[in-house]
Amino acid sequence: MKRLFLTVVAVLTMTATFAENEKANSVNNANAYDMKVNMSKLGEALNLTQDQMESVADVHRTFCGEMLVASQANEEDRKALVEKAVLKELRYMNYLLNEKQYRTYVMLLNTTLNNRGLNK
């Protein structure tokens, strides 16, 4: 009886440990795909006009939503959804920004994606 009890306790402990790690990985995964930025700092870095600021904020809000959808997708679809969202974001930003602003934005986006492990 004592062995059975100890075995059950060991199994429950191991299960709880694995479940905790899975939950932590899920939270870290969701945080990696959270692409919200301080728009005033982005506007300052890119030297945006007020009109550009509003347009960039709208486009980036859409990008954040698409990245959130990608974070919830299964492993096979995730990479394709991230790539699609990034390409769409870059296409719109290329239209909204001048050449210098666009180059700076691409550098910032690539750095962010690399730091979060999303640019593989």
- In a domain, residue 68? The reply is yes
- CA distances to 9, 10, 86 from 4, rounded to whole Å, are 9, 10, 54
- In a domain, residue 29? The reply is no
- In a domain, residue 59? The reply is yes
- In a domain, residue 99? The reply is yes
> Rounded to two decimals, what is the model's pTM?
0.72
- CA distances to 7, 14, 33, 109 from 65, rounded to whole Å, are 46, 36, 10, 16
Contact 52, 102 (CB under 8 A): no
- In a domain, residue 93? The reply is yes
Contact 86, 105 (CB under 8 A): no
Contact 41, 57 (CB under 8 A): no
Q: What is the pLDDT of residues 73-117, one digit of tens each?
A: 888 888 888 899 999 999 999 999 999 999 999 999 999 888 888
What is the number of structural domains in the chain? Answer: 1
- In a domain, residue 25? The reply is no
- In a domain, residue 60? The reply is yes
Q: Which of 40-44, 53-57, 72-76 has the lowest mean pLDDT?
A: 72-76
Which residues, other chains included, contact 33 with Cβ-Cβ below 8 Å and sequence gap of 6+?
67, 68, 70, 71, 82, 116, 118
- In a domain, residue 42? The reply is yes
Domain of 109 in residue numbering reads as 34-116
